[in-house]
Structure 1
Amino acid sequence: MEIKEDNIINIHNFLPHREPMLMADYILELTKEKVVTSFEILEDNIFVHNNEFVEAGLIENLAQTCSSIVGQSFFENPETETKVIGFITNIKKIEVFTLPKVGDKIISKASLISQFENICNIFCEAFNNDELLIRAEINLFIQEVKH
């Protein structure tokens, strides 16, 4: 997928995560049913071991990518100071094919299967170029934290 600078959406508008737990750099495409993100694997990432981005990092990247779909409704007004919390409630199916290396830029794609209020079931995949790294079906729950 070609990354076009003018299409990039600031991930900080849709996720509460910050360094060192932010595992997605940019949202490249976002609708109510799907999302595409990019993430560059840096050497100092907490999920890098022996120059590879480990399975837990790939899963966190997918979860953050997926949460942008259901989380976007909480961040529609960028002026509002909204705080949300999200959880992976279930990983129905997961296949890890290979691990990316430091310096790789991965593209993650997620599609909404079903949603009931703040609970959703999402199919997701991550790629390094055209190579499939991981495929999963994840259930997420996201809610606003009241002050």
Structure 2
Amino acid sequence: MSIFKFPIEDLEKIKLLIPHREPMILISSILSASENEVVSSLLIKENSVFLDKDLFSEAGIIENMAQTAACLEGLKKNSVTSPTIGYLVSVNNLKIISLPKTKYTINTMAERTFSFNGLSKFKIDVMHNGQLIAQSELTTAIEDLNR
């Protein structure tokens, strides 16, 4: 599936897989991936733009979910030169159980449950220390700019 070896911890390699740049990158490493699943981790740093006091915000959790899902498309393309733009179309059934603190590491698991013609649905779980802290279903769209 990919030319990458896991875990991917090099920020420059992660940048090949998602369109985000600092300070908006919310993935510290990609732990594993298969055709329809990816697991990322994020160390929540004190300088994150998504902090509210010492808690990682709801918006940060959603953005981390979206970036984790985007990794699957990046891994599939393996940085092929055909440019694409990705869109977060919808967030459904969002449940945030608790907000992680600064210096915590969260693991985000994204499973693609549907894909057709650039449109994908994902089931997402966010964990901290083996405990579920958030979950949702995301729908994304990928636009090939060469069409």
| TM-score, reference length from structure 1 | 0.86
Partner of 1:37: 40
Identify unmatched segments of 5+ residues in structure 2.
Answer: none
Cα-Cα RMSD? 1.6
Instruction: Using the TM superposition, give the Cα deviation of residue 137 of structure 1 relative to its aligned residue in structure 2, in angstroms.
Output: 0.5
Mapping 1:85-124, distance limit 5 Å = 85-124=85-124
Q: 4+ residue stretches of structure 1 with deviation over 3 A?
A: none
Output the CA distance in 1 between the equivalents of 2:45 and 2:98. Answer: 17
For each residue in 1:18-41, what CA deviation from the matched residue of structure 2 results, as whole angstroms up to 9, or x when unmatched?
A: 101111111111111100001100
Give the aligned length: 138
Output the CA distance in 1 between the equivalents of 2:143 and 2:25. Answer: 18
Partner of 1:84: 84
Q: What is the percent sequence identity of the aligned residues? A: 29
Q: Is the CA contact 1:16–1:83 (under 8 Å) kept in the aligned structure 2?
A: no
Output the CA distance in 2 between the equivalents of 1:142 and 1:46. Answer: 26
SS at match of 1:67: helix
Please, which moves more after superposition, 135-144 or 51-60?
135-144
* 2:22 aligns with one of 19, 27, 32: 19
Instruction: Using the TM superposition, give the Cα deviation of residue 76 of structure 1 relative to its aligned residue in structure 2, in angstroms.
Output: 4.6
Partner of 1:57: 60
One-letter code of the match for 2:114? Answer: S
Identify unmatched segments of 5+ residues in structure 1.
Answer: 1-5
Q: Is the CA contact 2:40–2:68 (under 8 Å) kept in the aligned structure 1?
A: yes
